[in-house]
């Protein structure tokens, strides 16, 4: 089942500059004594080499403690320039996103039964099994697979498992964005991820959900300075 919009296969690297001058990139915290610019260059050096080796540009977005996001492009010759990547059309997406997971496959029967009974854990597990079937049938790079993850996230929150909900909503937000789904849907999923994280144990590990959400904010909503700044403050233990 082809999509009206192609899969976004752009390589997009994101970096967070932290209030103490360190940076977070590729799941790792990197600290001085060098200034942030030098730390960023450490990350950019292999990106330059990769862009040149594969003769394709790499998008680079750098988020700052005040929520400002700088967007760059690492060109195929290894030079870095401001990113003039055109903004996508406003919510122009394949109609399949509005149809939802097909009901005639019987995949959702167990999900709906558990939902009617208020058995949220069982509903989440049934949604997981349905997602696996959808991914096997249509591929993981398909809207149905993203919708399945989103459904799992919803039931995780209904079961008051905010930690899992934050992780799943982050995953679904990134998937919807990458697959060219409705911008409003990816923003909603991302906002749900932030809310769930705030109600969870607030995982601040370098490879944890909190930083994953921050990188998703940079990638999906780069103009939402307030949300990114507030999350970075909480990730670094500031008020």
- How far is Cα 40 from Cα 72, in angstroms, rounded to an integer? 12
- How far is Cα 128 from Cα 151, in angstroms, rounded to an integer? 8
The reported pLDDT for the residue numbered 11 is: 84
Instruction: Tell me the pLDDT band of 109, cut-offs 50, 70 and 90.
Output: very high
The reported pLDDT for the residue numbered 106 is: 82
Average pLDDT, whole number, for the chain?
A: 90
The reported pLDDT for the residue numbered 10 is: 66
Angle CA 186–9–218, to nearest 5: 45
Q: Name residue, tokens 């995949």.
A: 107
Q: Is the pTM of this model over 0.85?
A: yes
List pLDDT tens digits, range 162-195.
999 999 999 999 999 999 999 999 999 999 999 9
């Amino acid at each position: 089942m082809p999509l009206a919009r192609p899969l976004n296969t752009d390589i997009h690297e994101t970096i967070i500059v932290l209030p103490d001058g360190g940076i977070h990139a590729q799941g790792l915290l990197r600290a001085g004594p060098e200034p942030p610019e030098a730390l960023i260059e450490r990350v950019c050096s292999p990106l330059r080499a990769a862009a040149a080796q594969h003769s394709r540009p790499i998008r680079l977005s750098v988020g700052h403690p005040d929520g400002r996001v700088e967007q760059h492009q690492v060109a195929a010759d290894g030079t870095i320039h401001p990113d003039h990547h055109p903004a996508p059309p406003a919510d122009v997406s394949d109609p399949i996103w509005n149809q939802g997971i097909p009901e005639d496959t019987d995949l959702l029967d167990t999900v709906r039964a558990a939902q009617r009974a208020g058995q949220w854990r069982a509903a989440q597990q049934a949604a997981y099994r349905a997602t696996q079937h959808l991914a096997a049938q249509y591929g993981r790079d398909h809207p149905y697979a993203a919708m399945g993850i989103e459904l799992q996230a919803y039931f995780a929150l209904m079961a008051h498992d905010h930690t899992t909900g934050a992780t799943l909503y982050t995953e679904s937000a990134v998937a919807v964005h990458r697959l060219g789904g409705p911008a409003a849907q990816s923003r909603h999923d991302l906002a749900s991820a932030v809310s769930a994280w705030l109600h969870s144990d607030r995982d601040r590990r370098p490879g944890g959900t909190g930083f994953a959400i921050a990188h998703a904010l940079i990638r999906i909503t780069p103009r939402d300075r307030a949300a990114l700044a507030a999350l970075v403050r909480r990730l670094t233990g500031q008020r």
